[in-house]
Amino acid sequence: MKEIEENCGVLGIYSDNPVVKKIHLGLHFLQHRGQQYCGIATSNGKEILIQSHKGLVDPTFTREDFEILEGKLGIGHVSLRDRQPMTLHSKLGDFAICFNGNITNSDELIENLKKRGYSFWLNSQVELLSKIIAQEDSFVDGIKEINKKIDGSFSLLILTPEGIIAARDCLGFKPLILGKKDNSYAVSSESRALQNLDIEIERDVKPGEIVLINEKGFKTLELMPSKRTAFCAFEWAYTASVDSVIDGLSVDKARNNMGAMLAKIDKGKLEVDIVAPVPNSGIGHAEGYHLESRLPLKNVFLIDRYGDRSYTQATQEARENMAKRKLSVLNEAVNGKRIVLCDDSIVRGTQIKKKVKELKKAGAKEVHVRIAVPPLMHPCKYGISTRSYDELIGTKMSVDEICEYIGADSLIYNSLENLVKALGKKENELCLYCWNGKKPFEEKQRKLVETE
C-alpha cells in the first residue's frame, strides 16, 4: 500500500453509439487515480442520467446501471474523496460535472456563497464548482470565473445535452488529454484509458483551454491566458500510470531518466550485485538505474495478483495486512546479495522501512535505497490526498537520520535539479511545491468572492 494517493480521474466520450460501456471500461484504466467512489453520467439528448457507487469500477456497476445510462455522450469519474459526477438543474440547463484537482480555498468560497443566499447539500468542492458555473451566463464564463476565484487546481468535465465541455486550469496542474477514433471523440485524465479503448491520442488540452466535444469533434471555446504553467511533477514520478504520456512526456521515459540520474550519482562509488524496484511505483526508476549502470535488474518482490484490492479496506490495519499479502519477498533472488532498491518517494518512511527489513530478513547483505524525487517537505495542496507536515519524514529528519530509521545501508534522493532535468522541462513550467514550498500561483490570479 503506497502512502500517497491521487484524488481523481476523469473520462468523457462522445460516440455514435451507446457510450456507457466504453466509459465503464475506460474508468477501469484510471482506477489507480481513485478507488473509493466511481460514477458515470450520460445524456440521451433529453435528460442527464447518473449512477454512482462506493468502491471500484469493475464490481460495482450492474446491468441495471448500463440500462439506465443511455445515450451517446457521457462522463465518468473515479475518486478517493467523494461521489462524482454530480448534476445540477440551472438557468444554463441541466448539466453534470466532475473534476480532478483540489481547491484549497473552497471553505472560504462556500461560506461566501452561503452569505449571499446559496444553499449547499454536501459542502463539497464539486458542488462549489457547479454553483459558481450556474451563476454565470454561459459555461465558458462559469469556468473563467472558477479560474479567477479558486486557489488550487482543476481538470474538469461538464456534460450537457449538446456536448462535453472539458477545461484545464490555466496553470495545467492536472493532466487532460484528447483522443479520437472514427466518429468517437474522448477526453481523459490519462492517455492509457484512451489507448486501451483503441482511441488514438490527438493532443493534450492546453493549460487554460476550454474545449467542446460532440459529434463535430473538438472545438476550442476559450484559451485563458497564463504567464506560466505548473504541471504536477509528481504525475511523472508516481501518480500516473507508466503507460501514459502526459504533456508530451512518456511517464516511463521520465521514470527511466530519474533512475539514470541516481545511477550517475553512484557511478564508481557503490559496489552492488543487483538493482531492484519496489513494485509498482519503483519499476521505471529501477529500469533507468539498470540501463545507466548496466547492473543486472532483478525482481526481489513478487506481486500477488489476487492482492490488489488493498485500496478498499476500511482500516489502516486491514490495509497493511492486505499490502503484506500483495508483495512478498523472492528469497532466492535476495539471499547473499547487495541490492540497490529503487522507489519513487518516501512519505512517512514506514513502508520502505518494512521493505528493507524484509529483504535483510531474507538474507540481503546490503540494501541501498535510491529515491527518484527529493525529500517531500510540503503536503500537496493541488490534488493528491493531503498529508500533514507531521507525517512527512523529510520535515523531521535529515537524510542520514532517515537512512538509519529505515535500516538501509545507504540512502540517496535525487536533487530537485536532477528531477527537473529528468523531466526535460523548465523549473517554471512545473509545480514543485512538494519540495520547494513555492506556490506556482501568482496572487493576482486569485480573486476571492468578498473582494467583488
| Nearest-angstrom CA–CA distance, 301 and 1 | 14
Distance of closest approach, residue 375 Cβ to ligand SF4, in angstroms: 13
Q: Taking CB under 6 A as the rule, which mask of x and - marks residues 208-237 in contact with ligand SF4?
A: ------------------------xxx---
Smaller CB separation from ligand SF4, 20 or 146:
146
Q: Taking CB under 6 A as the rule, which mask of x and - marks residues 355-394 in contact with ligand SF4?
A: -------------------------xxxxx----------
Site for ligand SF4 in 239-298 (CB under 6 A): none
Number of residues that bind ligand SF4 (CB under 6 A): 13
| Nearest-angstrom CA–CA distance, 340 and 52 | 43
- Is residue 74 involved in binding ligand SF4 (CB under 6 A)? no
In 3D space, the residue among 5, 151, 11 whose CA is nearest the CA of residue 75 turns out to be 11
In 3D space, the residue among 149, 148, 102 whose CA is nearest the CA of residue 124 turns out to be 102
Could you tell me if 333 and 304 are in contact, meaning their C-beta atoms sit under 8 angstroms apart?
Answer: no
Distance of closest approach, residue 376 Cβ to ligand SF4, in angstroms: 8
| Nearest-angstrom CA–CA distance, 427 and 229 | 10
Among 297, 433, 441, 445, binds ligand SF4 (CB under 6 A): 433
Q: Is 391 helix (H, G, I), strand (E, B) or coil?
A: helix
Provide the annotated active-site residues: 8
Distance of closest approach, residue 79 Cβ to ligand SF4, in angstroms: 17
Smaller CB separation from ligand SF4, 28 or 174:
174
Q: Taking CB under 6 A as the rule, which mask of x and - marks residues 150-189 in contact with ligand SF4?
A: -----------------------x----------------
Phi, psi of 93 (to 5 degrees): 105, 180
Distance of closest approach, residue 232 Cβ to ligand SF4, in angstroms: 3
| Nearest-angstrom CA–CA distance, 395 and 39 | 37
Neighbours of 280 (CB within 10 A): 17
Task: Reduce the secondary structure of 98-156 to three states and give it as a string.
Answer: EEEEEECCHHHHHHHHHHCCCCCCCCCHHHHHHHHHHHCCCHHHHHHHHHHHCCEEEEE
Distance of closest approach, residue 246 Cβ to ligand SF4, in angstroms: 12
SS3 content of the chain, % helix, strand, coil (to 5): 35, 25, 40
Smaller CB separation from ligand SF4, 167 or 186:
167
Smaller CB separation from ligand SF4, 275 or 434:
434
Smaller CB separation from ligand SF4, 76 or 101:
101
Binding site for ligand SF4 (CB under 6 A): 173, 232-234, 380-384, 431-434
